[in-house]
């Protein structure tokens, strides 16, 4: 049977991790990114624009401001976090994910992005359906102190791979996605 005329529709919101790391899984240095990579920032912006982004309080502090054009959901254990325009605070990753499902405009979110750091990524690895990974490799080693958690790559399939100069953009999907997937007939079939 040929299914090529079917469109894949994700019924539930996709939970996606987005991260840039070295092959050694380095992601941060002294509270900031260990690099300045305009090509990766541009890609991050394009992928996440219009969606909900969930991040840890330290990652938000390093940004210093909400990212424009996106819902900014920040996770902290602080019961009384500072009021910052454009920031929604949550005391757990699950609470932030639940809030991300319902867009403030009343619509439903299709994909939310988990944007780090380490502890948030570690918890999100068990919940995510998709991962957007930029592998950063340069001739010289980057210095840093914060790493993406060890993860079981055998549970993930590469669905897209692109090499741009010395950046490798890889999209993985979980072998069995958590999001309910439904197939609908493509118009005209
Ligand atoms: N390369 C990349 O793609 C990338 C992406 C993101 C971040 N980074 C880098 O990573 C570093 C920051 O990451 P990090 O791991 O140090 O910190 P982080 O994950 O951004 O923030 C940690 C904070 O988040 C809150 N938190 C974490 N887990 C929580 C939970 N389960 N429930 C409630 N609150 C929770 C706590 O905030 P409170 O202390 O307020 O309670 C905790 O101190 C920076 O260097 C940043 O530049 C890199």
Q: Is residue 136 part of a domain?
A: yes
The tally of domains found in the chain comes to 1
Query: Containing domain of residue 157, as a range?
Result: 13-174
Q: Give the model's pLDDT for residue 11.
A: 55
Q: Is residue 122 part of a domain?
A: yes
pLDDT at 184 over 50: no
Q: Is residue 160 part of a domain?
A: yes
Q: Is residue 186 part of a domain?
A: no
Ligand 1 atom 44 nearest Cα: 31
Q: Give the model's pLDDT for residue 105.
A: 79
CATH number, position 87 = 3.40.430.10
CA of 59 to the centre of ligand 1 (A): 5
pLDDT digits (tens, 9 = 90+) for 73-92: 999 999 999 999 999 999 99
Q: Is residue 138 part of a domain?
A: yes
Q: Is residue 84 part of a domain?
A: yes
What does pLDDT average to over the chain?
A: 89
Strands (DSSP E) along 45-174, which ranges? 52-56, 71-75, 87-90, 111-114, 130-136, 146-147, 156-164, 167-174
């Amino acid at each position: 049977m040929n299914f090529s005329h079917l469109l894949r529709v994700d019924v539930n919101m996709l939970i996606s991790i987005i991260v840039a790391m070295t092959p050694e899984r380095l992601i941060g240095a002294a509270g900031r990114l260990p690099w300045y990579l305009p090509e990766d920032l541009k890609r991050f912006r394009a992928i996440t624009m219009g969606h909900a982004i969930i991040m840890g309080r330290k990652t938000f502090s390093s940004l210093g401001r909400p990212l424009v054009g996106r819902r900014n959901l920040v996770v902290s254990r602080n019961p009384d976090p500072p009021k910052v325009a454009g920031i929604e605070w949550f005391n757990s990753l699950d609470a932030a994910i639940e809030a991300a499902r319902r867009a403030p405009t009343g619509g439903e979110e299709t994909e939310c992005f988990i944007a780090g750091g380490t502890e948030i990524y570690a918890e999100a690895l068990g919940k995510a359906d998709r991962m957007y990974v930029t592998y950063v490799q340069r001739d010289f080693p980057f210095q840093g102190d914060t790493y993406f958690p060890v993860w079981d790559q055998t549970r993930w399939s590469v669905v897209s791979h692109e090499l741009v100069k010395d950046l490798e953009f890889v999209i993985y999907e979980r072998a069995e996605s958590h999001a309910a997937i439904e197939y609908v007939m493509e118009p005209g079939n």
